[in-house]
Structure 1
Amino acid sequence: MVRPGNKPASHGQCCVCGRSLPAGSLHPVAMLGQQLLGYLSDNQAADPSAMICAEDRSRLRMKLVHDLLLREQGELADDAREVLASLDREGELISRDSYGDFDASLSLGQRIADRVADFGGSWAFIIMFLIILGTWIIINSIHLLKHPFDPFPYILLNLLLSCVAALQAPVIMMSQNRKEARDRMRSENDYRVNLKAELEIRSLQAKLDILISHQWQRLLEIQEIQTQMLDELAGQQSKGNAGH
């Protein structure tokens, strides 16, 4: 084994496999880097004179690359689970049936007013109104009754029509006000849904940025190992060419 301050011996011992190899086939453990040193024992990593053979160094590098890839897959799975968990935590549905909630809060009088307003704006009301009006006029005009209850000029009919118009107008206004309130509730619900969607998109973008940065870090580590191996291969090839 090579000792500091002494002339290197022609052979040395690999601290990993324990084989005695030529000094040219061994490399200082201190030159491995912190990531590869993590695969050695504390005594091996702390010994400044420890040497490692090329085969074990390549094996450690391949193990490091394999662990980096496994760690990358694990982080991808963890990030996917984190996204799903965050959606579960924050994913209570904001969107709801605003019309159903609003209608459930209406009183009996308000429901009746809405039904009256709906009926007053339908063809059924117009047809029924024309039938009643025509029947009223016919009965009181052609003397079907011995004593018509509302002869011409139909004062009672005019009074009834005025009462219907006077009552129908506020009922329609009340129903219109509730429709506006229902539309406001729907607009507020749409705003909350859009706001939550925007926040979710921002959250997903931030998580994707973190994921991409982690992937780049792993790729840089693997590329660094590949560069070291290529440099060593180039050095060995240069030595071989010089020997010839």
Structure 2
Amino acid sequence: MNSFEMDQLLADENGYLKKLHKIVKETIRAEELIIHNLVNPPLEILTQGQKLSDKVARFGGSWQFISWFGILLTLWIIFNVLAIGTYKFDPYPFILMNLILSCIAALQAPIIMMSQNRQEEKDRMRSENDYLINLKAEMQIRSLNKKIDILLEDQIKTLFETQEKQFILLQQINEKLENHQLKV
């Protein structure tokens, strides 16, 4: 094997390595794009009603709400039990308090449901996003496998060509040795 053929083999090997590095860089770049989109999701534009329903749902489903509401009801009952005469605005069985509680529940329930429906929509969109990311990752893995297979095929082809050249060189060396032995 002469130096030109050796240089050619080394150049081919460098070419394969450069192709492999290019594939890896492209894959990393695509992965960084996905990560950027996950870290910086598109901004959600909310109407005033949606913002209000979120605040009501957040407060209505908190221990702070339960505590304040319990304190208010306790004060209401104590005042109406202990108050004298005209100061009793809701005597026992506290019909006004029951009416107010029913109204609060009737208004609070649909507001919380609106907030939950929007949260469900967000969850659905996140699930779709996760599915698309998984699909894209699967496609990239398949693409990388194909590219690696192509590179391996090229390397195997080069290896066989190199072996063939080496075999020819060995035959030439063998012939020279046989000729040399015949002369001696």
The interval holding the TM-score normalised by the smaller chain is: 0.7 to 0.9
Structure 1 moving runs of 4+ over 4 Å: 85-91, 97-100
- Among residues 146, 150, 166, which one is paired with 2:90 in the alignment? 150
Structure with the bigger percentage of helix: 2
Structure with the bigger percentage of strand: 1
Match of 1:77 in 2: 18
C-alpha change, 1:145 and 1:223, in structure 2 (3 Å) is farther
Match of 2:108 in 1: 168
Match of 2:34 in 1: 93
Q: 2:23 touches 2:144 (CA, 8 Å); kept in 1?
A: no
Q: Which of these two proteins has the greater Rg computed from alpha carbons? A: 1
Q: CA RMSD in A?
A: 2.6
Q: Does 1:183 align with 2:123?
A: yes
CA offset digits 1:22-52 (Å, max 9, x no partner): xxxxxxxxxxxxxxxxxxxxxxxxxxxxxxx
What is the deviation of 1:81?
A: 2.4
What is the TM-score normalised by the length of structure 1? 0.67
Percent identity of equivalent pairs: 45
Amino acid at match of 1:148: K
Between 1 and 2, higher relative CO (CA 8 Å, sep ≥ 6) is seen in: 2
C-alpha change, 1:199 and 1:242, in structure 2 (3 Å) is same
The number of equivalent residue pairs is: 184
C-alpha change, 1:98 and 1:162, in structure 2 (3 Å) is farther
Q: Does 1:66 align with 2:3?
A: no
CA offset digits 1:153-203 (Å, max 9, x no partner): 212111111101111111121112111111110111011101110111111
What are the ranges of 5 or more consecutive residues in structure 2 without an aligned counterpart? none
Question: Structure 2: how far apart are the matches of 1:235 and 1:73?
Answer: 33
